[in-house]
Amino acid sequence: MAGAGGNGIKSFLKQAIKSFGEHGGLDRSLAACKVVDGAPGSCVLSLVVDTPHTNRMGTLHGGFSAHLVDTVTTMALMSNPEGRPGVSVDMNLTYMKAAKVGEEILIEAKTL
């Protein structure tokens, strides 16, 4: 786990985001995320949508948004005192409105 307090968890989450950028592949695009908040069992990130995150219509790619959900839920799990990652077995995403290049989105995950 990240540490006892919120600052320790935020530091852990920031380090996780930094490591995504260093590993390449699809995870490299996650380096654009910024940690907004973190607490035990909770992770909130922001992302300004940029071209690597989009489909040919210039909006956030549905597959990339699923990747965000998968990653941020794992980060929330790892911020718990046990610090164990999980595996997404079943995800259901509902798309209400397209996010365009330059728009900022928030991604929030909380463990129950």
Coil, helix or strand for 83?
Answer: coil
Coil, helix or strand for 107?
Answer: strand
Contacts of 94 (CB under 8 A, 6+ apart): none
Q: Which pLDDT value is given to residue 67?
A: 93
Strands (E), the chain: 34-39, 42-48, 104-110
The pTM for the full model equals 0.84
Residue spans per domain, the chain? 4-110
State pLDDT tens for residues 30-88. Answer: 999 999 999 999 999 999 999 999 999 999 999 999 999 999 999 999 898 887 777 77
- On whether the 4-110 domain is CATH 3.10.129.10, my answer is yes
1 pLDDT more than 70:
no
Give the best-scoring range by mean pLDDT among 15-29, 55-69, 88-102.
Answer: 55-69
